[in-house]
Structure 1
Amino acid sequence: MNITRENVDALNAVVKVDIAKEDYSDKVEKILTDYRKTANIPGFRKGHVPMGMVKKQYGKAVLVDEVNKLLQDALNKYLTEEKLDVLGQPLPKPQDDINWDADAFSFEFELGLAPEFEVELKSKKAITKYDIIADDKMIDEQIERIQKQYGKLVPQEVVVKDSEITGAYTNEEKEIDNTVTLTLDKFKGKSTAKLFVGAKVGDVVTLKTKGLFDDEHDLMHALKLDHDAVHGLDIEVNFTISEINERQLADLDQELFDKLFPQEKVTSVTELRSKIKEDAEKQFVQQADQKFLNDVTEYLVENTKFDLPAEFLKKWMQTSGEKEMNIDEATEEYEKSEKSLRYQLIEGKLIADNNVQVTMDDIKNHAKEMIKGQMAQFGQMNPSDKELEDIAARVLSNQDEARRISEQLISQKLLEVYKEKANLKVKELSYENFVKEVYGDK
């Protein structure tokens, strides 16, 4: 067997594989001999079929199969030994005139080669890394939510501005009959809230669905209808009041602190505020990191210049999926995925240049921490190491889950590389201002 390569240019090559008779003849002969032993052909006893008849009936199919196996093994071995960094898979050049009665065969494959390039993390313009803080306003709002959650309901005679009202939305034509508990601040207009103020248990308030809430999802929940049913819905519904309550806020005392933080010692409002701030800012880190990661990724894709073997990749995409595509479909798919492919190559280069590695121990430890956190949510605060080991083993037996964790860890390690080596500026701001700056004031 002989394999040669011709580089068309820096991104494309053609590999030629020449297969001689001695490369496959012994294997084909052995398979045909085995066929002869088991062939069940009318008129002949098993094992006594003439070899000529076996070759005539099975010879070409066995030859084609063995040559193809030999071809794939040789090609894969060649790519590995030559350390060729290829994109997609080798594409066989069309051959309509293969003479399978010949002794020797030649096959050609097109290769798309990965480009060579350098990655510069130090951008001229600094990339913003946000440091999101929990300000006093957020902490005050969180404490009020906690006090409401742990407070008690006191029945009221009439509805006032801050009442919690239980009742049923009904509309006979649309078969709406749904009981909910609501507060007046949920309605879009002040005029709607005024319809409730002063009402008593048993009173019926008639409402128009159009413009009742800011968000259609609130209307879906109120009427227990799906998205299509509430879209553009403009009808009247009756709300029959069955309960009116005042929610009295829970006292900020030791009993409440112990309910909130049974595993930690919180003994004052100052410590409560500190703990709420700490917990909130831990959650903000992930959101800020994701924004930073997105911005670095965008910078790298836009500023790391290299060419791709575009025509090869379009041809490869035509046949690589479950459904074969024509060239126009493949071109459209390539244009959609080009940015992602570029980042994959950049990421691979950064992983190699910075020696980013994830070991099996890293994956297992991450899985155990993830499981421990999930168990804590259900009150299992101190699982044994054996429990964690056993559950982690079951989780990681799923290859997709193990790969997902591995990719997550690589992303985390690359994030640390970016924080260390990229040109960044830290901007501290509240969560409310972060949302306004990053996503717009909605």
Structure 2
Amino acid sequence: MTIRKLFIANRGEIALRVIRTARRMGIATVLGASEADAASLPALEADEVAIVGPGPSSQGYLAIDRVVAAAKAAGADAVHPGYGFLSENADFARAMAEAGITFVGPSIATLEGMGDKLAARRLATEAGLPVLPGGEAQTPEAVRQRAAETGYPLLLKAVAGGGGKGMRRVDRPEDLDAALAMAQAEAQASFGNPAVYVERFVARGRHVEVQVLGDGVRAIHLGTRDCSIQRRFQKLVEEAPAPAMPDDARAAIEAAAVRLARHIGYRGAGTAEFLVDADDFSFFFLELNARIQVEHPVTEAITGVDLIEQQLLVAMGKPLSLTQSMVRPTGAAIEVRINAEDPDADFRPSPGTAIRAAWPAGPGVRVDSHIANGCEVPPFYDSLMGKVIVHAATREEAVRRLQAALSSLEIDVMPTTAPLHRRIAADPRFAAGGVDTGFLSGLQA
């Protein structure tokens, strides 16, 4: 098939990113926007805008019936879901298929298999990937039993989770019941499913992931990324390739990701996420995100591959145009997320108007953002304002380029994470590479 008109069921920088690649490919775009985003930069750049509902996500971006009806009324051939919202929702993909609209992403079966974290663990095990000790526990009694078997510290994780929602670390048995109640409540509020499972916590863990591409028959990888610098299990800094990692460990984790993608007949762009023990580089499968990732630009920077274009080509039924030998990463890339949050107030969101938004520019600097002077940051959505990405021949040079880029970044008047990123970029442990997920707490202390 040929995609002539693409409906974008998302907002912010990812919507703008998809619009620009679609335009380069000669594909018309329709932005499905909320009333709060009707005058946003993505709305101004799209060929058409369809209002899907008022500001709150539950009444617009997450309302499957409204989004499908808007795409159908616009005469769209396909829908790109971006990330978050309905991007990994099998019911949404099914509703689009029933409306005769192609879902830009993996099959419904893959979305169902990967959307359930316990099912994903089973599929990974079938493909020969190691998983952390733990597993399903449906009742408080079963959770206690599973926790006793797994040992402490441990993590409670939402079965339908993602983005750090519905996740709690538990260090002692006496803290388990309270943590379970909070994890289940957050899982219910975020995903409509309170189910959680238990997983061993690795004290010195690194969050390493592998970008994969598949066409349902073949699958390849585009190298590693490291996303270990996080707050509340949500990523703040991402880089490619994962630094300070032995070649044999890197090759093993890349091979594991491809093995899983082939096992499930993956189509499109996906990310296999792993927890790597910082001491011995043993690794364990966490999940496969069946969508484009926020951090995809660092992979694009080192490979020269447009991942949105690859998604669209696979959705049109085309086989992968790349072979593994054609992917030759060069240099190092680092991305920082600039969020409208106050790091000094436990990352409290700070929506409002960006009176001034002066983003950095120059050789080796890329900015993906939907925020310019006078743009609104609505209170309804994720606080991401934009991403600053740098690329250089070496990681040392990339760190220096990041420091320079952040020094020229100016956003007024709301608090943002930019000052925190300046501290991170100047930290000698970050400069050395290979920090674990406890880095940020140590920095703040």
TM-score range, shorter chain: under 0.3
Taking CA–CA contacts closer than 8 Å with sequence separation of 6 or more, which of the two structures ends up with the larger relative contact order?
1
Structure with greater strand share of residues: 2
Normalising to structure 2: TM-score of the pair? Answer: 0.20
Normalising to structure 1: TM-score of the pair? Answer: 0.20
